[in-house]
Structures are given as C-alpha cells and as structure tokens.
Amino acid sequence: MAAAAKTSKKPVSKTAKTAPAAKVVAKKVTNASSKRSTARAVASKTKTAVAAATKSSPAKAASKKAAPKVTDPRRTAFVRLAEGRTSQAIKQIRLLGNLSNLSAYDFSQSDIQQIMKSLQDEIAATMARFETSLANATLKRERKFKLGGFEARA
C-alpha cells in the first residue's frame, strides 16, 4: 500500500492549472510597467537636461512650454480650408494631366489650349478676388468717419 500511496497523484486545483498562464500575464504586465518606467526615466532625464541647458529649474522650463498660444479662429479656419482646398485643386490638376496619354485618349492642340485658358482664367479671377479683398480691408481700416461722408486719414 505504501508504494501505491507514493505513485498516486494529488488532485490538481483550478488555480494550479492556471498558474503558468498567470505567470505569463504577470510577466507581460511587468514588462509593460518596466517599459513605462523606462520611458518616464528618459523623459525625466530629458527635462533635467533641458533645465540644465537653460540654467533654470524644471518647473520654470515646464511653465515656459505651457504658455497658451493665442490664435485667431478665423485664421485657423482659413489655414485649414486653404490647405485642404489647395491640395484638392493640385490633385485634380494632376489628374487632368493624366489625360495627356495618347494611347488612351484622342485630343487636339485646340483642346489643350481651351483647358489651359480655362484654368488660367479661373486662377486670375481667384487672384483678383484675394487682391480686391485685401485692398478693401486696407481702405476700411484707413477710413475715418466724418459727417458728410468718409475721409481718408492723412
């Protein structure tokens, strides 16, 4: 009987079965936390180096960076829309250039001249609108109210 007792296996609990998996998860968590702590240490060293280079404390260096940037919402909207629309226009012009493939399309010199003239006319009209807007804005700023009409400042 003693030999049978030695060879019998003990019942394995559920926690014992999942223990290796728990170790793997624990290792992953440990690795992730060590990566984060390493990143924090590098960031801390960088802040310290910046502070030493500027000969000020890290708090002063951080406060200089944290200064709010004042931007005009109209300017922000203009830049956002102008960049997007200009990029789209350039893309469409490039696609128009794809029509120059003679093996796929049939066109004449007259067709090319009409396309280019149309594009040039639209660019000129757009430039005129911008120039007129700027000129009018300048005139509005320079005008001074006087009974009987407007008078330009001297």
Taking only the tens of pLDDT, the chain with its 154 residues reads 455 555 555 555 555 555 555 454 455 545 555 555 555 555 555 555 545 545 545 555 555 565 566 689 999 999 999 999 999 999 999 999 999 999 999 999 999 999 999 999 999 999 999 999 998 888 777 777 677 766 655 5
Q: Among 5, 32, 65, where does a domain finish?
A: 65
Residue numbers of the domain that contains 23: 17-65
Q: Could you tell me if residue 38 is inside a domain?
A: yes
**What is this structure's pTM?**
0.47
Residues 48 and 22 in one domain: yes
1 found inside a domain: no
What stretch of H or E contains 81?
helix 73-97
Does 54 map to a domain? yes
Give how many domains the chain has, as a whole number: 2
Task: Evaluate whether residue 122 is within a structural domain.
Answer: yes
pLDDT value at position 10? 56
Residues 27 and 78 in one domain: no
Burial class (CB within 10 angstroms; exposed 0-12, middle 13-18, buried 19+) of 140: exposed
Three-state DSSP class for 143? strand
